[in-house]
């Protein structure tokens, strides 16, 4: 199944006999909770999911958005109406970073059918509502491990033996600026691959062929061992999603730079080159 769905296709599915569960994951880095925006207007039937509270554990030595407690995650997803035998579509305001985090986490936890609304709410031309749904409880029980996961040591090893992509902005990769984490730079051996290049000017994902060309130019092929990290495991999930659209499986280092940079014993590379 494709990892993304267009707005017209979603509208058709919602009008059909077996509509998917819809999750609204609007979020902004460092900003206020966007539930008030959800309460003003959302896709009919969509349930709000708080990325910071439900798709991540407490910030700390494991990074700004470590994995959530798996039991708590399962409880939150069941409360949102998620069941393993019913498809899920996730969306955010349009950047698709938060939606990709929800996609990745559900897929990693074993849900077989999760898609991201291409272009997010900005691409939706259908009706919106302020009515808050009360979904019937779902039955989803997380079974982690469906998608590959990296820890810090695994990311360091993959940077030497395979391909580790850094999804952050190029200036953060180089170490020119670091607005959030303790130090700028990148994991030695990692290749700069900003997430923003996964989408076209329209805000929609580039085609599968275009994404395959992009990642091949960075050294990734369908039989490559590929990993991704970012600042805190959010935009990196978007990169894993784009790789999936291109037909290239990839592991996510969830702790990402926010974990790596907090450990003074781990090496940091700067400049435009991987080493």
91 vs 1: which has the higher pLDDT: 91
pLDDT value of position 129: 98
- Interior/surface letters 243-259, b for 16+ CB within 10 angstroms, e for the rest: bbbbebebbbbbbbbbb
Q: Which CATH topology does 4-123 take? A: Oxidized Rhodanese; domain 1 (3.40.250)
pLDDT value of position 1: 67
pLDDT tens track for 144-157: 999 999 999 999 99
> Residue 52, exposed/middle/buried by CB under 10 A (0-12, 13-18, 19+)?
middle
- When pLDDT is averaged across residues 11-37 and rounded to a whole number, the result is 95
Same fold: 4-123 with 149-260:
yes
At residue 60's C-alpha, the angle toward residues 58 and 61, to 5°, is 140
pLDDT tens track for 235-244: 999 999 999 9
Share of the chain above pLDDT 90, in %: 96
Largest CA distance in the chain: 56
Domain assignments of the chain as residue spans, ordered by start: 4-123, 149-260
pLDDT value of position 65: 97
pLDDT tens track for 170-212: 999 999 999 999 999 999 999 999 999 999 999 999 999 999 9
Q: Catalogue the active-site residues.
A: 230
> Residue 148, exposed/middle/buried by CB under 10 A (0-12, 13-18, 19+)?
middle
Instruction: State the DSSP H helix or E strand holding residue 104, giving kind and residue range, or none if neither.
Output: helix 97-108
As separate numbers, helices (DSSP H) first and strands (DSSP E) second, the chain gives: 10, 10
CATH number of 149-260, picked from 3.40.250.10, 1.20.120.1200, 3.10.129.10, 3.40.50.300:
3.40.250.10
């Amino acid at each position: 199944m494709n990892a993304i769905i267009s707005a017209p296709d979603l509208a058709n599915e919602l009008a059909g006999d077996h509509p998917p569960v819809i999750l609204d994951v609007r979020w902004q880095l460092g900003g206020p909770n966007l539930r008030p925006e959800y309460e003003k207007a959302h896709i009919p039937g969509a349930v709000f999911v708080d990325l910071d509270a439900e798709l991540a554990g407490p910030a700390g030595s494991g990074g700004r958005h470590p994995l959530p407690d798996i039991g708590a995650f399962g409880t939150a997803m069941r409360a949102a109406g998620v069941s393993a035998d019913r498809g899920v579509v996730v969306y955010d305001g349009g950047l698709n970073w938060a939606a990709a985090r929800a996609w990745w986490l559900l897929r990693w936890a074993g849900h077989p059918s999760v898609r991201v609304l291409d272009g997010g709410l900005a691409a939706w031309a259908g009706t919106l509502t302020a009515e808050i749904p009360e979904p019937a409880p779902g039955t989803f029980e997380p079974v982690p491990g469906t998608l590959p996961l990296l820890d810090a040591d695994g990311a360091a090893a993959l940077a030497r033996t395979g391909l580790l992509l850094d999804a952050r902005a190029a200036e953060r990769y180089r170490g020119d600026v670091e607005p959030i984490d303790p130090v700028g730079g990148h994991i030695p051996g990692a290749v700069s691959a900003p997430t923003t290049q996964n989408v076209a000017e329209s805000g929609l994902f580039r085609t599968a062929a275009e994404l395959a060309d992009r990642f091949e130019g960075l050294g990734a092929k369908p039989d490559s061992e590929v990993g991704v990290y970012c600042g805190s495991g959010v935009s990196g999930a978007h990169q894993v999603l784009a790789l999936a659209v291109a037909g290239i499986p990839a592991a996510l280092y969830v702790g990402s730079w926010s974990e790596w940079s907090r450990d003074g014993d781990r090496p940091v590379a700067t400049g435009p080159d991987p080493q």
